[in-house]
Amino acid sequence: MCMAPKPWTFLSFPETKTYFAHFDLSSGSRQVQAHGKKLADALTLAVSHLDDLPAALSSLSDLHAHKLKVDPINFKYLSHCLLVTLARHHPGNMNPEVHASLDKFLSYVSNILTSKYR
Amino acid sequence: MVHLSSDEKGHITSLWGKVNIEQTGGEALGRLLIVYPWTSRFFDHFGDLSNAKAVMSNPKVLAHGAKVLVAFGDAINNLDHLKTTFAKLSELHCDKLHVDPENFRLLGNIIVICLAEHFGKEFTLEHQVAWQKLVAGVANALAHKYH
């Protein structure tokens, strides 16, 4: 499941592919799957440091600010696709409170990852 | 204008046929108010919106959500004419209701999440692609007459 949001993001929001021109973006791409796993691992780390997210994500913030420079809007697209993926894997279980908590968490993570941009 | 292939139109209409529009509309508006609480600024007159339980059982929320999704259904019947279909509603939202168009995008994404949550695996990647295009088209159409 951790692999799912990436291709969904690329197809629903094609502009996100501009950051992966060097990737094989065809269906089932190992590069996309591997990168999706990296992302999932980072979110797992974040979940285990909910009380100290800025420190836990500091090196990722540095990476996004100084090297990757991903436009902030893309964090919203990916967060939305993560929520869609979770919803379709847990039909009937993603109630409004869970939905709100997840959205808030992903928004906070996104803010931290773009916090050193300027 | 939103460009949808015939397959994409099929993904939209086939799923729409299975949606309980009134219930899903109420749920979508409720989720909007819970996930993005600042959207309650437009609904001061709705009564208790102080917590998730209050929102999801508020009859005004459910009724208004149903009304919104019924109007959304007009989009599905007029996929090639979204701007003209929503011209009057666009003027209303700008001139009378003063709604920031960003809210149309927020609600559109909430509708997509509701569909994913209801339909589970039946809501495929192709479904999301088609529905994201549709909700973006509706949001743009509703913002089109803003000045």
Question: How many of the other CB atoms lie within 10 Å of CB of B6?
Answer: 6
Condensed to tens digits (0 to 9), the pLDDT of residues A35-77 reads 999 999 999 999 999 999 999 999 999 999 999 989 899 999 9
* CATH no., domain A38-114: 1.10.490.10
List chain A residues with CB under 8 Å of B35. 96, 99-100, 103-104
* Structure confidence by residue, pLDDT tens digits, B65-118: 999 999 999 999 999 999 999 999 999 999 999 898 999 999 999 999 999 999
ipTM for the predicted complex comes to 0.82
Give the per-residue pLDDT at A1.
Answer: 44
Instruction: Please state, in angstroms and rounded to a whole number, the distance separating the CA atoms of residues A14 and A30.
Output: 19
CA gap B112, A86 in Å, rounded: 12
Residue of B nearest to A10 (CA): B129
Statement: residue A2 has pLDDT above 50: no
Angle between helix A5-12 and A30-47 (nearest 10)? 110
Query: pLDDT, tens digit, for every residue of B55-80?
Result: 999 999 999 999 999 999 999 999 99
Identity of the residue in B55, B119, B125 whose CB atom sits nearest the CB atom of A91: B119
Asked if A92 and B56 come within 8 Å (Cβ–Cβ), the reply is no
How far is the C-alpha of A109 from the C-alpha of A57, rounded, in Å?
8
| B129 contacts in chain A (CB < 8 Å) | 11-12
| Chain B interface mutation, best of A10, A11, A12, highest count of B Cβ atoms under 10 Å | A12
Q: Which chain A residues contact residue B120 at CB under 8 A? A: 88-89, 91
The shortest C-alpha distance from B84 to chain A (Å) reads: 25
CA–CA dist B134, B123 (Å, integer)? 15
Chain centre distance of CA B44: 20
Cα–Cα–Cα angle for B113, B62, A95, nearest 5°?
40
| pLDDT given at position B91 | 95
Residue A48, min C-alpha distance to chain B (Å): 22
Q: Which residues contact B131 (CB under 8 A, 6 or more apart)?
A: B11, B12, B15, B111, B112, B115
Residue with tokens 């590069």: A31
- For residue B44, count CB atoms less than 10 angstroms from its CB and return exposed for 0-12, middle for 13-18, buried for 19 or more: exposed
CB crowding A78-117: b at 16 or more within 10 Å, else e? bbbbbbbbbbbeeeeebebeebbebbebbeebbebbbeee
CA distance B69 to chain A (A): 18
**What number does CATH give the domain B6-143?**
1.10.490.10
